[in-house]
Structure 1
């Protein structure tokens, strides 16, 4: 049974952190072909950033990160699920766990094809579509 974990980068054991970064690289760089901006952008190192991940045995199956841009605004991003585990609800579980830690407004830059999926968690579109890293996105927000 997969288990959900979360911690700031400095408190994650090196093997789990390696697997989180490997999953993000597999999904964003190898699968989606995002090479115009770095996967490791330095934001993971910020003291208020938290990484969330689902792990089964030694394998990280899904991950996301929460950036706390201010006391009452957070940004969820880098949501990634291993291809062979998609459809099991793992990203949804992680998203719910992350939202439970966010006290106020949560913004997300959603890939446009996932707009309805994020809407299931209370996110609403806040503006027009835009291109980020060569992929169609929509800005979305969830308020408590």
Structure 2
């Protein structure tokens, strides 16, 4: 099990910000070979969920209150370091993020924009697909909702 920290943008240290941006870049830009603007001007409005194995950041999401990104609360930038995925940290990362939304935003309704190939992973966490697939940064995605 990982140790989690939940922080506002203002509470992130420079080192934590560097490490989370590095992890996001390693996976979303390099591993997925996707050129896109990861630093999108929304990080300062998010709560950041950081999962540590010892002192190493290996898992991360950012969460938003209702009305900012979608009408419902949302979880995005869901990432686990490639060499740590065998431990199934994605499930505890998402469960921690769902619980953080419940505690910090007093919400249970969550909408995500999920990479289509991860649909079953999100189904296992109680998310149901809504609508058709669409391309986001040339990767097939689907909207999913959990209430």
Q: Same fold (TM over 0.5)?
A: yes
Task: State whether structure 2 residue 48 is matched by structure 1 residue 51.
Answer: yes
Q: Which structure 2 residues correspond to residues 1-144 of structure 1 after superposition, within 5 A?
A: 2-35=2-35, 37-46=36-45, 49-70=46-67, 73-102=72-101, 103-143=107-147
Compare the two structures and name the one with the higher helix fraction.
2
Contact kept in structure 2, 1:109 and 1:137, CA below 8 Å: yes
List gaps (5 residues or longer) in structure 2: 102-106
C-alpha distance after superposition, 1:65-91 (max 9, x if no partner): 102243972111101111100021212
Q: 1:2 & 1:100 partners in 2: Cα distance?
A: 15
Deviates more, 1:52-61 or 1:124-133: 52-61
Paired residues, number: 140
What runs of 5+ residues in structure 1 fail to find an aligned partner?
A: none
- Normalising by structure 2, we get a TM-score of 0.89
